[in-house]
Amino acid sequence: MRANINQVGLTTALVLALAGCHVGPNYEKPAQWSPKDWRPHGENAAVASRVTEEAPDPDWWNVFHDPELTALERQVATQNLNVRVATARLAESRAQVLIEGANRYPTLGASAAYQREQYSTKELQYAISRVGGNIGSSVGGGLGGQIGPLISSSAGRAVIPQLDMWSDKVDAQYEVDLWGRVARQYEAAKADLEASDEARRGVLIAQEADMARDYMTLRGQQQQLQILEQNRDTQAQTVKVSEDRFHGGLVTELDVASARSQLDSTTAQIAQYRQRIEQQENAIALLLGAPPGALTHELEAGAGVPVVPPVVPTGVPSELAQRRPDIRQAEAQLHAAVANVGEATAEFYPKVMITADFGFQSLSFRDLGFWNARAWNVGPSISLPIFQGGQLRGQLALRRFQQKEAAISYQQTVLGAWHDVDNALIAYRDEQTHRAGLEQAVADQQRALDLARDQYRHGLVTYLNVLSAQGNLLSAQMSLSDSTTTLASNLVQLYNALGGGWESAYPASASVLASTAH
């Protein structure tokens, strides 16, 4: 018996010594490309706000110096429902890592059973002959000592009564990961966890950018509403003057009707903008998981569109891959795809399991704990796939194509990130030029209106000239307000493209993996 135990132990030790060989490709971090410099702004004097390669504030919205915007942004990480969904998905990935990690360790269980059995005469006679003639002399609850007295003879035939079989045992099982199949599963699960973490960061950045854009849009609409209300008041005064001049016989009724028509048109626009403002307030409330109208009082007019800073820190181009969660997510997905190829490769090799159990068996519950009622077994088992109908080859081919797809997706993500940044820089630069032109247009239209009014008072032009000048000024003022909002939104888009805004809410992704390392 000792020789058998030594043989089992030697075999097990040999199997364990072979463990640790990983088949399939090992993941290698892809080479990262980045331009040396951002797109230059040029020497255009209209571009007053310029980018620098200084390190940006993780809370990039602070560049606007708007306390209300800052307060809203700080609530996005905890109250936005899309972010909370992404956080739940991260928890799912963390649980999956625990599941896959458990396969690296032995399993241990305990069981107890009771059976009432009827053995055949032939089976029992064979068992007795194999054990030997001393079966009936065992003491202390042994199986032989219990079976011997039960065998009786009736008409020359052995009578085997029904037996009660009691047992309890502790069993263990362990897969020796000779080819790295289990290790590759765990590696892929950790990479998927990292991808989920980066996806959550990406959702947070997108929602923070949406909050800032919606806020800029709201302030722009409130500013345009003020412009319309100011023009309405001016036009109402113009109507009164026209009516007085009409009653004095100085102008025709056409001037009065034209003035009233312009006033009515502006009043209609005011109602339209009030509707837009309420809807925009609801859009901001939705981003914070709040009901409609919850932020109406908080978002009342008065702040105006935040002013862009003269200097915009963007960091150096080489940092973009570390700052953009979508790039890191694509890299983690590539890592998982490579690990899955290794797992599929390992499926072609034998699986080695070591199983063992120890317990007691007895025909009497009272004798179950006696040492000579013990039973045990230990040893390895090997399973080798011989014919699977092409399933394993198909699975390996699938994993290799998925790896290729992940590699292409990574390249596309990196290239798309650079396009996002470059397009955002272009938009931010050119909108400043556009806005500078509109500022001059407003000044010119104001001068034209003043001249038209003066000439009208002296009878040099008709009132239609004044109405035309008023309409042109209102249009220029509204366009300038639109451009101011667009410029601020373009800066938001630039920071969104740069991938900033998650560092304060979520620490570095290494902490996520550390939480499941053990």
Question: What would the pLDDT profile of 377-389 be if each residue is shown by its tens digit?
Answer: 998 999 989 888 8
Which residues share a beta bridge with 360? 168, 374
What is the spatial distance between Cα 476 and Cα 271, in angstroms, rounded to a whole number?
20
Res 71 pLDDT > 60:
yes
Q: What's the gap between Cα 107 and its chain centre?
A: 33
pLDDT of residue 142: 47
What is the spatial distance between Cα 72 and Cα 288, in angstroms, rounded to a whole number?
8
What length is written for the chain?
Answer: 518
pLDDT of residue 300: 85
**141 falls within a domain:** no
Q: Which pair of structure tokens corresponds to residue 167? A: 């047992």
Residue type at position 80: N
Residues 6+ apart with CB under 8 A from 412: none
- Mean pLDDT value across residues 160-171: 85
pLDDT of residue 138: 44
**223 falls within a domain:** yes
**386 falls within a domain:** no
Q: Give the confidence band of 135 by pLDDT, cuts at 50, 70, 90.
A: very low
Other C-beta atoms closer than 10 Å to the C-beta of 113 total: 11
pLDDT of residue 370: 86
How many domains are contained in the chain?
1
What long-range pairs does 122-129 form, CB within 8 A, spacing at least 24? 124/151, 124/158, 124/160, 125/158
pLDDT of residue 250: 78
pLDDT of residue 420: 93
Give the CATH number of the domain where residue 65 resides.
Answer: 1.20.1600.10
Q: Give the confidence band of 319 by pLDDT, cuts at 50, 70, 90.
A: confident
pLDDT of residue 509: 53
pLDDT of residue 303: 76
pLDDT of residue 140: 42
What is the spatial distance between Cα 195 and Cα 513, in angstroms, rounded to a whole number?
11
pLDDT of residue 11: 52
Res 234 pLDDT > 70:
yes
Q: Give the confidence band of 304 by pLDDT, cuts at 50, 70, 90.
A: confident
**308 falls within a domain:** yes
Q: Give the confidence band of 156 by pLDDT, cuts at 50, 70, 90.
A: very low
- Mean pLDDT value across residues 417-439: 93
Residues 6+ apart with CB under 8 A from 293: 281, 282, 285
pLDDT of residue 132: 57
DSSP strands (E only) in 127-267: 152-154, 157-159, 163-176
Q: Give the confidence band of 341 by pLDDT, cuts at 50, 70, 90.
A: very high
pLDDT of residue 14: 52
Average pLDDT, the chain: 85
- Mean pLDDT value across residues 389-418: 94
**459 falls within a domain:** yes
| Sheet order of strands, 163-176 included | 107-117, 163-176, 351-362, 374-383
In the chain, % of residues over pLDDT 90: 56
Phi, psi of 406 (to 5 degrees): -65, -35
Res 196 pLDDT > 90:
yes
- Mean pLDDT value across residues 235-256: 86
pLDDT of residue 320: 81
Other C-beta atoms closer than 10 Å to the C-beta of 336 total: 23
Residue type at position 459: G
DSSP string of 281-324, one letter each residue:
HHHHHHHTT--TTTTTTTT-S-S-SPPPPSEEE---GGGHHHH-
What is the spatial distance between Cα 40 and Cα 71, in angstroms, rounded to a whole number?
33
Instruction: Determine the structural domain holding residue 275 and report its residue range.
Output: 54-102+179-348+399-514
Q: Give the confidence band of 7 by pLDDT, cuts at 50, 70, 90.
A: low
Which residue reads 């809410």 in tokens? Answer: 505
**359 falls within a domain:** no
Q: What is the CA radius of gyration of the chain?
A: 40
Pick the residue with more confidence: 319 or 440? 440
Res 310 pLDDT > 60:
yes
In the chain, % of residues over pLDDT 70: 83
DSSP strands (E only) in 366-435: 374-383
Which residue reads 């942004």 in tokens? Answer: 73
**124 falls within a domain:** no
**213 falls within a domain:** yes
Res 43 pLDDT > 90:
no
pLDDT of residue 86: 94
Least confident of 19-28, 286-295, 297-306, 404-413: 19-28
Question: What would the pLDDT profile of 487-505 be if each residue is shown by its tens digit?
Answer: 999 999 999 999 876 676 5
Which residues share a beta bridge with 400? none
